[in-house]
Amino acid sequence: MGIKIVKREGGSLKDRLYIPAIFGGMKTTLRHFITNISDTSKVKTFSYPEVQPSDITSRYRGIHRLTKREDGSIRCVACFMCATACPAECIFIEAKEREDGVDEKMPEIFTIDVLECVFCGGCVEACPCDAIRMDTGIFSFVALKREDFVLTKERLLSHEAKKETL
Ligand code: SF4
Ligand code: SF4
């Protein structure tokens, strides 16, 4: 009652043999292969990492950076908002008293473990001081040791914002 019976497809001898479907798939693959090899300018892929993508916008979430004030000092006030918001719990901050009088506190240690980071952008959203951003455009990050994936405060401060190319 109220049930719609849908006719089951694929029961013919041709369907059950599978061979025609396999040849159909191979025909499509061969067509794309010949099209791509005869005119490589239309190929949608490129030889990464030799060829790097050039269409990454500043909105792309890359590796983090810590921003600086106009005087060059660190903008972060060690409020722990980013570490609290981080779902991966990969931000570690140790605060210290600020001696330059610009603010009360600053981070003595500020690290981000990018192997644990899920690049959600939560830290950037949570920061009340615009002290952390993910606009470096660094999306390809390699290292030989586990420790090298833990970005230190100095390293985060050394990262630059990616110049907009689009
Ligand atoms: S991007 Fe997300 S996971 Fe990564 S450090 Fe920021 S809040 Fe944590
Ligand atoms: S980066 Fe922003 S949210 Fe994180 S501790 Fe510094 S000021 Fe606070």
Domain-embedded: residue 40: yes
Q: Higher pLDDT residue, 124 or 141?
A: 124
Range of the domain at 127: 65-158
Of the pLDDT bands very low, low, confident and very high (cuts 50, 70, 90), residue 166 is very low
Residues 39 and 94 in one domain: no
- The mean pLDDT of 143-150, rounded to a whole number, is 94
Q: Higher pLDDT residue, 8 or 74?
A: 74
Ligand 1 environment, Cβ below 6 A: 85-88, 90-91, 112, 117-123
Domain-embedded: residue 111: yes
User: Furthest-apart CA pair in the chain: how many Å?
Assistant: 84
Q: Rounded to the nearest whole angstrom, what is the distance from the C-alpha of residue 104 to the centroid of ligand 1? A: 25
Residue 164: the pLDDT is 65
Residue 55: the pLDDT is 77
Residue pLDDT, tens place only, 100-130: 888 899 999 999 999 999 999 999 999 999 9
Q: What is the pTM of this model?
A: 0.75
Instruction: Give the residue ranges of DSSP H helices in the chain.
Output: 13-17, 19-38, 81-85, 122-126, 153-158
Residues 70 and 142 in one domain: yes
Q: Rounded to the nearest whole angstrom, what is the distance from the C-alpha of residue 83 to the centroid of ligand 2? A: 8
Domain-embedded: residue 5: no
Q: Please say if the pLDDT value at position 165 is more than 70.
A: no
Domain-embedded: residue 52: no
Q: Higher pLDDT residue, 79 or 45?
A: 79
List the residue whose alpha carbon is closest to atom 6 of ligand 2: 76
Residues 114 and 149 in one domain: yes
- The mean pLDDT of 2-19, rounded to a whole number, is 85
19 CB-side CA count, 13 A? 3
109 CB-side CA count, 13 A? 8
- The mean pLDDT of 48-61, rounded to a whole number, is 81
Total domain count for the chain? 2
d(CA 68, CA 75): 5
Residues 18 and 89 in one domain: no
Give the CATH number for residue 106: 3.30.70.3270
